[in-house]
Amino acid sequence: MRITDLLKSTAIELNANVSSKSEAIDKLIALHKAAGNLTDSEKFKEDILKREEHSTTAIGEGIAVPHAKSSAVKTPALSFITVPKGVDYSAPDGKKTDILFMIAATEDGDVHLEILSRLMVMLMDADFANAIRNAKSAEELLKLIDGKETEKYAEAKEEVKKDGYRILAVTACPTGIAHTYMAAEALQKAGEKLGYPLKAETNGSGGAKNVLTKKEIEECDGIIIAADKNVDMARFDGKPVIKVSVSSGINKPEELVQKIIDGKAPIYHHEGDDAADFDSEEKEGFGRKVYKHLMNGVSHMLPFVVGGGVLIALGFLIDTIAGNADVGGTFGFTNSVAAIVFWIGKAAFAFMLPVLAGYIAQSIADRPGLLPGFVGGVFAASGYTFTSLIENKNLVGDGSAVSGFLGALLAGFVAGILVNLLKKAFSWLPKSMDGIKPVFIYPLLGTLLIGLFMLVVNPVMGVINGAVASGLSSLGNTSKLLLSIVLAGMMAIDMGGPFNKAAYVFGTAAIADGNTWIMAAVMIGGMVPPIAIALATNLFKDRWTKEELKSGPVNYLMGLCFITEGAIPYAASDPLRVIPSCIVGSAVAGAVTALFGCACPAPHGGIFTFVVVENPLGYIVALVAGSVAGALMLGLLKKKKAN
């Protein structure tokens, strides 16, 4: 979806006559109302102001992007004003704000994150920002935005290219937020530089965008797959294909494009479901294969954890507001409204482990592994054993044998391996049976085998899972403090790499066992690096290049949205100073969350989840403390740049 699809001319006012932040907000909301974007402007204003209470949405350099998810929004939309004299919007750099976009987002999607990301990237260009400041009409403004978006993004390029694409690409990272789009842009720029038009399909958190068509695949010279999770490969049968990690797509795009140009890419053959057997450009070790399969499961599981976890937390919040007490373990669904919200969240949350196991198995064995994986995840979540099924006869699991997150991980990997073994075991069947094997034989026998396996291992895995959960729950204050410091610091070590993902998966697993304080440290640790860098570019301007200063304010929003990858360009240019500073800042923030007893039930969302955080004020203090610590250390370590 393009920015110009969300911004109507009726929601634009140039040279608005406002003199304060509150008047600017009122004007932007009034424009949304006039454009028919809202069902209740007062409710939307309430949600906007709640968001502003957490921290200002001004990013500096005269730019602010107030935004909120709200039930009062009919459809995702933008409004826009310019204010010639500017208003005091509490910007981090102390400057007045004269360019304001307001994002109105619905509660059931993340379109606002994509639009927010695009606006940030486009507004990094000072010439573009000045051009929209000086626009004389709504039509001129929309034309400027459309032109810049066409220049920057693949979807727009698809509309203007007439000669077809010589090279295609697919980019995908486990969470589908930052690395996915960074790799796509790097490959597109490399294609342009080398004179080979390139189209990149992004498998992001909102689904596949800029999808490659059958005609484009048939006519292209080759395909680059830059992904850390499995993508649909059957469509590339018979084409030259290079498979690399998403980080290689970011760091060496020209080399990859040149290999396609030179005809050095191997021909890919999709034999049944054995897509994973293709030799990639980068030889994958055992550890990387395990990582890819795990991340495939985690990326599919996240929406269930986020949606379910936040709704359950809202149930508790509503009961708290209603003044109810925990009577017989009913807290969270004592109030009727709380009960509805709680049980909807509970239903979503219940899919977490089956989805995790199912998509790990699918990553290993393709589609035939999906059903056995799901069933293994259900058995892990329910604690079924031979004894419980024989004696209860009604699918009531043994609570002590619930193997939880660890059991679901084991179920996913074992289910995938079992299905691959079945493929080899039945390879002797005639070709005429190929159609029935993946839809009948593999799922049927795979499901039976994984069910029997889980009945055997659940008692053992249940003991291990219970011991881990109990151990985390019983940690003393000192241990919680140390663990919070370590996990938050890990989030800043490689900003989306294995250390970051290890801490993130650990935090997600802890949510399933009710240890939400761990996720609080993990999320705050991921939010701090971009904000610390943005703050340092404001406080210590003589330590940065002109380009870094231009891009700095964008990192405020990247950090607030829990997009740690915004710090990567700065870390890559000066790792010995930037990475330690970010680690220290994140560790400080993690320590403060432990000291204030903060807990977070959602594994993603940044500031959008603050409303359900336990002790949100302490969480904000942690974010500020960590960001300031990181920024000050950057100011201390970074050398002054020559003019």
Catalytic residues: 67, 173
Rounded Cα distance between 263 and 52, Å, is 54
Q: What are the phi and psi torsion angles at 201 (to 5°)?
A: -85, 130
Q: What are the phi and psi torsion angles at 571 (to 5°)?
A: -65, -40
For residue 77, give the H/E element and its range. Answer: strand 77-87
Instruction: From 519, 412, 399, select the one nearest 463 (Cα to Cα).
Output: 399
| Sign of the alpha-carbon torsion through 422, 423, 424, 430 | positive
Classify strands 207-209 and 198-204 as parallel, antiparallel or unpaired: antiparallel
Rounded Cα distance between 161 and 158, Å, is 6
Rounded Cα distance between 363 and 129, Å, is 44
Contact status, residue 78 vs residue 111, Cβ threshold 8 Å: no
Rounded Cα distance between 109 and 93, Å, is 32
Tally of CA atoms within 13 A in the half-sphere of 120 that contains its CB: 25
Burial of 251 (0-12, 13-18, 19+ CB in 10 A): middle
Q: Which two tokens mark 362?
A: 């699918």
CA distances from 630 to 195, 530, 554 (A): 41, 10, 17
Q: Where are the alpha helices (DSSP H) in 74-176?
A: 111-123, 126-133, 138-152, 154-160
Q: At what angle do helices 404-425 and 442-473 cross, to 10 degrees?
A: 160
Contact status, residue 499 vs residue 591, Cβ threshold 8 Å: no
In DSSP terms, which residues pair with 243 in a beta bridge?
225
Total residues found in the chain within this entry:
643
